[in-house]
Amino acid sequence: MIDEPYRWVEAIANRREYIEHQLAPGSPIVALSYADGIVLLTLSRERQKIFEIYDRIAMGGIGHPGDIERLRLAAIELCSTEGFARSAHDVSLRRLANFSLSPALKAAFEQVYGAPYLARLIFAELGRGDVPNLFLRLDYDGSIHTNGGSFGRSFEEFGVIAGTKSAAERMERLLREHDATKASLSRAVRIAAEAWSLGHMASPDDAAEELPKRAVLKKHLDEQLAHAAVECAVLERSSTLPITWRALPEAETRAMLDAE
Amino acid sequence: MTERGLPPPQGAQDFAAVLRREGVLPNAPVVGANAAVEQTQATTILAFKYSDGVLVAGDRRATAANTIVYDRADKVLEIDRHSLMAIAGVPATAWEMARVLEHSFQFYRRTQLQEMSHEGKVRALSKLLRDNLGMVLQGVGVVVPIFASYDAAAEVARLYFYDAMGAQFEAADFAATGSGSPAVRAVLHFANSWGAKPLRKLKANDAIMLALRALETAASSDSATGGVDRRADVFPIVKTITSAGIETLSEARLARLFKGKLV
């Protein structure tokens, strides 16, 4: 079947449709810069979705837990081996994604007789010194989107993933309107939660449609918070140790969400 | 790179095994089965329990035979937020071992999403020493460390010393290894048994003074131990582990204590 080029394209298109369908109900994950580093936030019912990868790199994933786990372990191994053989300064998210993860994802996606990775990942890397924070989205087909440096787009201080393209675009629109780079952790958490709420609400097909009012977003968030766990972690610039990761206890995050 | 383009998962999540698979961790060279086993570890490190936790100290001298190679070596290494490893033996092997250990604990925490238990950490060092046996038998890589760590479950700081093959011993009050250790052990035993207070009751400043005095005693008879270099103002490394974590005592504080009481 797939020895004909047209059939191969068709098979890939089917596969893409299947994966998108599987990913669609995934709970969005928000990562954004605040005054003292990066905050990552999501709501989840069953399992942890935000993870520490290395001293200054964190990851969030939606998709099949088995595939996320494989990619997470591979990322930790690659970073740890590099950090051990050379130095923690040589570990870079750009290289991890470009040279190691992306080709593996692409190969698995395009070999139509094998299983693809059912996963969409968001990575965040805390910059050293004056280097800006890097947010990088890695998709099941190996494609990479970053928060800046590319043609026709200004640099952004956030990155999101969501089940659907339109949900992610609407979240990005909201985050563009709220600059959190100088915000306290508490305020950044509230902005992240608002963006999550927007991404989680059933979104119209047309991403350009008017965004809902804040009260609507808050109401939806409160409804979800009633029966889901809120997961939040930070990469802190002010950390006295090389390790910048800190997972926030749920009570601390909820207190911040109620602080308004 | 196998399974779908990614490295195969490590069942036991043993970082040393990952390094071996990637060819980053070297194996012992084999030259001859009967190479003389070098038993001396030219240095002095000590550790004892005091009122707040555990104090670990080491001199700064590194030697090769009768030559002083370096007088600012750091032999007390922080492995994680709550663990210290002090090393006597061949520096190349010892520092590499500390690095493997440090990365192993982080790797375990990141992959398994939980902190390695206190017992697990103690055992991890034991396993590294055992893996190093080939180097020891070649006479090129003997390492005899002291390991101190805060046991969060029992809320107490614990102290262990090892032999070159990896046997671990938990020290009740104090431990010392290296060429100057007989003198240090005598000083600590004396202080613990007949001093003004047993070691466990000592306040921080008295404990630091005792550590400096013990190293000075060792340095007075052992040429491979540095002690306090008065001209260059080089002091031993002194670190403490308490429930609050690890503290490295500043040279300024050591100098103040030392000049006030010792000279």
* Interval A168-207: pLDDT, tens: 999 999 999 999 999 999 999 999 999 999 999 977 766 6
Residue B39: pLDDT over 70: no
Rounded-to-integer distance, Cα B227 and Cα B238, Å? 12
Which among A176, A179, A136, A141 is positioned nearest to A23, based on CA atoms?
A141
Tell me the pLDDT tens digit for each residue of A126-182: 999 889 999 999 999 999 999 886 566 678 999 999 999 999 999 999 999 999 999
Structure tokens at A197: 């709420």
Rounded-to-integer distance, Cα B227 and Cα B236, Å? 7
Give the model's confidence band at B119: pLDDT under 50 very low, under 70 low, under 90 confident, else very high. very high
Q: In a mutagenesis test of the A interface, which of B2, B6, B10 is the best target, namely the one with the most A β-carbons within 10 Å? A: B6
Rounded-to-integer distance, Cα A123 and Cα A137, Å? 6
Which among A208, A210, A253 is positioned nearest to A230, based on CA atoms?
A253
Give the angle subtended at the CA of A46 by the CAs of A51 and B116, to the nearest 5°. Answer: 45
Which among A238, A247, A230 is positioned nearest to A58, based on CA atoms?
A247
- Max alpha carbon distance in chain A (Å)? 60
Q: CB-based contact (8 Å) between A82 and chain B?
A: no
Which pLDDT does position B35 carry in this prediction?
A: 53
**What number is the average pLDDT over the span B34-40?**
54
Produce one character per residue of B49-61: b if its CB has 16 or more CB atoms within 10 Å, e if not: bbebbbbbbbbbb
Distance from CA of A217 to the nearest CA of B (A): 32
Rounded-to-integer distance, Cα A58 and Cα A122, Å? 8
Structure tokens at A103: 């080709």
Q: What is the mean pLDDT of chain A?
A: 92
Rounded-to-integer distance, Cα A114 and Cα A125, Å? 31
**What number is the average pLDDT over the span B212-223?**
92
Contact between A70 and B18 using a beta-carbon 8 Å cutoff: no
Which pLDDT does position A222 carry in this prediction?
A: 94
Residues of A with Cβ-Cβ distance to B24 under 8 angstroms? 81, 84-85
**What number is the average pLDDT over the span A77-84?**
95
Which pLDDT does position A194 carry in this prediction?
A: 96
Chain B residues contacting A via beta carbons under 8 Å? 1, 3-7, 9-10, 15, 18-19, 22, 24, 81, 99-100, 103, 106-107, 110-111, 113
Give the model's confidence band at B91: pLDDT under 50 very low, under 70 low, under 90 confident, else very high. confident
Q: What are phi and psi of B12, to 5 degrees?
A: -85, -5
Which pLDDT does position A141 carry in this prediction?
A: 95
**What number is the average pLDDT over the span A225-240?**
94
Which pLDDT does position B227 carry in this prediction?
A: 84
Query: Which stretches of chain A are assigned E, i.e. beta strand?
Result: 29-34, 37-44, 50-54, 57-63, 119-125, 134-138, 144-146, 158-161, 229-236, 245-247
Which pLDDT does position A48 carry in this prediction?
A: 94
Which residues of B are marked as active site?
43
B160: left (phi over 0), alpha (psi -120 to 50) or beta: beta
Q: Give CA separation, B62 vs B69, B70, B144, in Å.
A: 5, 5, 15
Which pLDDT does position B3 carry in this prediction?
A: 65
Contact between A51 and B113 using a beta-carbon 8 Å cutoff: yes
Helix extents (H) in A28-92: 65-85
Which pLDDT does position A126 carry in this prediction?
A: 96
Q: CB-based contact (8 Å) between A247 and chain B?
A: no
Give the model's confidence band at A63: pLDDT under 50 very low, under 70 low, under 90 confident, else very high. very high
* % of chain A at pLDDT higher than 90: 82
Which pLDDT does position A1 carry in this prediction?
A: 56
**What number is the average pLDDT over the span A38-59?**
95
Q: Give CA separation, A78 vs A91, A95, A101, B24, B97, in Å.
A: 9, 10, 10, 12, 20
Which pLDDT does position A204 carry in this prediction?
A: 72
Contact between A54 and B110 using a beta-carbon 8 Å cutoff: yes
Which among A258, A218, A248, A250 is positioned nearest to A34, based on CA atoms?
A248
**What number is the average pLDDT over the span A206-219?**
84
* % of chain B at pLDDT higher than 70: 90
Q: A236-240 contacts: CB < 8 A, separation 24 or more? A: A236/A36, A236/A37, A237/A36, A237/A37, A237/A126, A238/A36, A238/A37
State the count of interchain CB pairs (< 8 A) between A and B.
Answer: 57
**Amino acid sitting at position B91:** P
Look up the pTM and report it. Answer: 0.88
Which pLDDT does position B138 carry in this prediction?
A: 80
Q: CB-based contact (8 Å) between A70 and chain B?
A: yes
Q: Using DSSP, state whether A56 is helix, strand or coil.
A: coil
Rounded-to-integer distance, Cα A213 and Cα A64, Å? 33
Residue A69: pLDDT over 70: yes
Burial of A98 from C-beta contacts in 10 A (0-12 / 13-18 / 19+): middle
Give the model's confidence band at B140: pLDDT under 50 very low, under 70 low, under 90 confident, else very high. confident
Which pLDDT does position B164 carry in this prediction?
A: 85
Residue B262: pLDDT over 70: no
Tell me the pLDDT tens digit for each residue of B181-201: 999 999 999 999 999 999 999
Q: In a mutagenesis test of the A interface, which of B102, B110, B128 is the best target, namely the one with the most A β-carbons within 10 Å? A: B110
Structure tokens at A160: 């999101």
Q: Give CA separation, A100 vs A56, A138, A142, A186, B204, in Å.
A: 18, 12, 10, 35, 50
Which pLDDT does position B192 carry in this prediction?
A: 96
Do residues B222 and B183 make contact, with C-beta atoms less than 8 angstroms apart? yes
- The alpha-carbon radius of gyration of chain B (Å, integer) is 19
Residues of B with Cβ-Cβ distance to A108 under 8 angstroms? 4-5
Residue A54: pLDDT over 50: yes
Which residues neighbour A253 within 8 Å (Cβ) at sequence distance 6 or greater? A41, A189, A230, A231, A232
**Amino acid sitting at position A108:** A
**What number is the average pLDDT over the span B51-66?**
90
Q: What are phi and psi of A154, to 5 degrees?
A: -85, 160
- B163 versus B22: the higher-pLDDT residue is B163
Give the model's confidence band at B209: pLDDT under 50 very low, under 70 low, under 90 confident, else very high. very high
Give the model's confidence band at B131: pLDDT under 50 very low, under 70 low, under 90 confident, else very high. confident
Which pLDDT does position B263 carry in this prediction?
A: 43
Handedness of CA A62, A65, A68, A73 (dihedral sign): positive
Contact between A84 and B99 using a beta-carbon 8 Å cutoff: yes
Q: Give CA separation, B202 vs A83, B47, B155, B192, B199, in Å.
A: 40, 13, 19, 10, 5
